């Protein structure tokens, strides 16, 4: 039974306040109690768990997220006598990831709903993005174009070399402004 200084710093609970109390029932939110208990039980039975994530409730009621490794604690004869949990606070990391997902979702929505055709290609020239306006103008649905070579499939034959040069320049970081892209429509129109 151990509760170190870092555990105190993170939770606000002193060693004296935690000793003898059931860890899961006292400090883990109800929705995670069964999964945390399962990890601890497995560790008691010799099955260690790495990188298990769960929320821990602090003394002031905040929820922090811990990434824990649970290892079997053994006595001198090798018998299981408990669990050693080594964890780190990943609360800020989770918040940053959540914020990044929100920004990414917002940008994806902005691209998809823009009133101009927007497409993306990867370094192989395959379509990775195709917004609603590109679909409306060309009549090619996004599902039909993603993964296909942009120049070979969606640019008129006589314009392909010029467009490929522009894409090659863009792919090495050269800015290309005001380039009129001669897209093919599903019916072959420009």
Tell me the pLDDT of the chain averaged across its residues: 91
Query: What's the angle, vertex CA 63, arms to CA 30 and CA 53, rounded to 5?
Result: 75
CA distance 41 to 24: 11
Banded model confidence at residue 4, pLDDT cuts 50, 70, 90: confident
**Can you say how many angstroms the Cα of residue 51 is from the centroid of all Cα atoms in its chain?**
16
CA distance 52 to 128: 34
pLDDT at 131 over 80: yes
Closest of 190, 187, 167 to residue 179, by C-alpha: 167
Q: What average pLDDT does the segment 94-105 reach?
A: 94
Please report the pLDDT score of residue 29 as a whole number: 85
Mapping DSSP to helix (H, G, I), strand (E, B) and coil, where does residue 54 land? strand
């Amino acid at each position: 039974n151990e509760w170190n200084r870092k555990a105190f710093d993170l939770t606000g609970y002193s060693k004296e306040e935690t000793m003898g109390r059931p860890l899961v029932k006292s400090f883990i939110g109800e929705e995670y109690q069964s999964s945390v208990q399962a990890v601890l039980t497995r560790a008691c039975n010799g099955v260690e768990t790495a990188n298990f994530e769960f929320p821990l409730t602090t003394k002031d009621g905040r929820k922090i997220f811990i990434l824990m490794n649970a290892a079997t604690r053994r006595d001198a004869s090798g018998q299981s006598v408990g669990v050693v949990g080594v964890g780190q606070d990943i609360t800020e990391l989770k918040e940053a990831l959540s914020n990044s997902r929100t920004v990414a979702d917002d940008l994806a929505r902005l691209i998809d709903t823009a009133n101009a055709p927007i497409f993306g290609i990867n370094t192989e020239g395959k379509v990775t993005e195709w917004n609603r306006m590109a679909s409306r103008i060309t009549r090619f649905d996004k599902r039909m174009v993603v993964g296909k070579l942009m120049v070979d499939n969606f640019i008129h034959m006589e314009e392909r070399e010029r467009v490929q040069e522009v894409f090659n320049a863009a792919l090495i970081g050269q800015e290309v402004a005001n380039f009129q892209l001669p897209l093919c429509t599903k019916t072959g129109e420009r």
